[in-house]
Amino acid sequence: MRWWLPDAGSTFARPIDTLFLAILIITGIALVVVEVGLVTFVIKYRARPGRKAFYTHGSTRAEVIWTAIPAVTMVALGLISNHYWVIMKDKKSIPPNAYHLGVHAKQFEWQVTYPGADEKLGTSDDFTVRNQLHVIVDQPTAVELTAEDVIHSFFVPEWRVKQDAVPGMHITAWFQATKTGEYEIGCAELCGMGHYKMRARVFVHTPDEYKAWVAQQAAGGSE
C-alpha cells in the first residue's frame, strides 16, 4: 500500500518532494488553524440561554494581518518554485550532454526511437521500439516528444516527469534517472478508448547494460 509519493528515481524528485513537503507543512498549519478554530468556536460560542453575540463589524488590523501573511507566503513560494520550474522545463536548461531519444505517442502506444551506436538521433542507425523505454542511469536524458493523432502525456511517476505530447508540436522533456530498475510510463491525458492501456515499460540501465541492449537490438534481437 502506498501512502506517499513514489520512490524518488530522478534528480528532480528531491526538489519536488521537498517543495511538496514544504507546501504540506504550510498548508497543514493553515488547515489546523482553520479546522481547530472552527471546532473551538462551535463549542465555545454555541448559543446558550442568556448569552449574546458580540456586535462588531470587523477589524482592519485583522484584515491586514491575514492578508499580508498569506500574500508574503505565496510570493516566497512562487520564487522558490520558479527556480526549479525553469530548471525542469526551460529549453535552455537541458544539459548539453543530454542523451536524446525520440518518443512518439500515438493511439495507443509509445514508439521510442533510439539513436543507435552513433548516439545521434536522426541518422540511419536509429531504431524504434514499441512500448519500451531504455535509459542510462545518472545520464541526463532528453525525450523529443511528438504525437501522431491526439494529445497524449508522457508520465513516469518515479522520475517526477510529465509532459504533454501534442500533435503538430515537438516538445523536449529532460530528466536524469538516479536508480537502476524497472518502471512504467502511463499516459496522463485522455486520448480515447485505449487511454488506460497506453502503458510502456521503462528500464534504467547501467551504461554497460544499455550498450549491451543497444547491440542486441542492432543484431535484430528483441528484449
Partner 1 sequence: MTSVAHAKPAGGAHDAHHAPMSFWRKYIFSTDHKIIGIQFLFVSLFFLLVGGLLAMQIRWQLGFPGKPMPGGGILPESMVSGGVILPEYYIQLVTMHGTFMVFFAIMPLLVGVYANFLIPLKIGTHDMAFPRINMWSFWLALLAGLIMLAGFFVPDGAARCGWTMYAPCSARPDLSGATYSQQLWSISIVVLGLSSVMGSVNYITTIINHRAPGMTWFRMPLSVWALFITAILAVLALPVLQGAAIMLLFDQTIGTHFFDPGAGGQPLLWQHLFWFFGHPEVYILILPAMGMVSDIIANGSRKPIFGYHSMVFAIIGIAFLGWIVWGHHMFMSGMNPTLGSTFMVSTLLIAVPSAVKVFNWMGTMWRGNLRFHVPMLNAIGFVSMFTIGGLSGIFMAATPVDIPIHDTQFIVAHLHYVLFGGSLFALFAAIPYWYPKMFGRMMSERIGKLHFFLTFIFYNMTFFPMHIIGMGGQMRRIYDPTIYDFLKPQQPINEFISYSAFALFAVQILFAFNFLWSLKFGKKAPQNPWEDNGMEWSLPNPAPHGNWDKTPNVYRGPYEFSAPEAGDKDYLPQYVKLPTDRDPIPAPLSAGGH
For the CB of residue 106, give the shortest distance to partner 1 in the complex, in Å: 10
For the CB of residue 68, give the shortest distance to partner 1 in the complex, in Å: 9
Nearest to partner 1 of 84, 203 (CB atom): 84
* Type of residue at 28: G
| β-pairing verdict for 132-136 and 161-165 | unpaired
For the CB of residue 117, give the shortest distance to partner 1 in the complex, in Å: 31
Nearest to partner 1 of 71, 212 (CB atom): 71
Nearest to partner 1 of 134, 160 (CB atom): 160
Nearest to partner 1 of 45, 212 (CB atom): 45
Whether the Cβ atoms of residue 205 and residue 180 lie closer than 8 Å to each other: yes
Q: CA 82, CA 179: separation in Å to the nearest integer? A: 26
For the CB of residue 32, give the shortest distance to partner 1 in the complex, in Å: 11
Nearest to partner 1 of 112, 189 (CB atom): 189
Specify the length of the chain in residues.
223
Q: What does DSSP assign to residue 45?
A: T
For the CB of residue 141, give the shortest distance to partner 1 in the complex, in Å: 16
Residues sharing a CB contact under 8 Å with residue 45, sequence separation 6 or more, in sequence order: 53
Query: Which among 202, 186, 201, 85 is positioned nearest to 141, based on CA atoms?
Result: 202
The partner residues of 172 in beta bridges, in order of sequence, read 144
- For 33, other C-beta atoms within 10 Å of its C-beta total 10
For the CB of residue 129, give the shortest distance to partner 1 in the complex, in Å: 19
Nearest to partner 1 of 30, 212 (CB atom): 30
Query: Which among 91, 143, 136, 140 is positioned nearest to 112, based on CA atoms?
Result: 143
Nearest to partner 1 of 67, 206 (CB atom): 67
Whether the Cβ atoms of residue 142 and residue 94 lie closer than 8 Å to each other: yes
Place of cell 536524446: 100
For the CB of residue 217, give the shortest distance to partner 1 in the complex, in Å: 24
- For 129, other C-beta atoms within 10 Å of its C-beta total 17
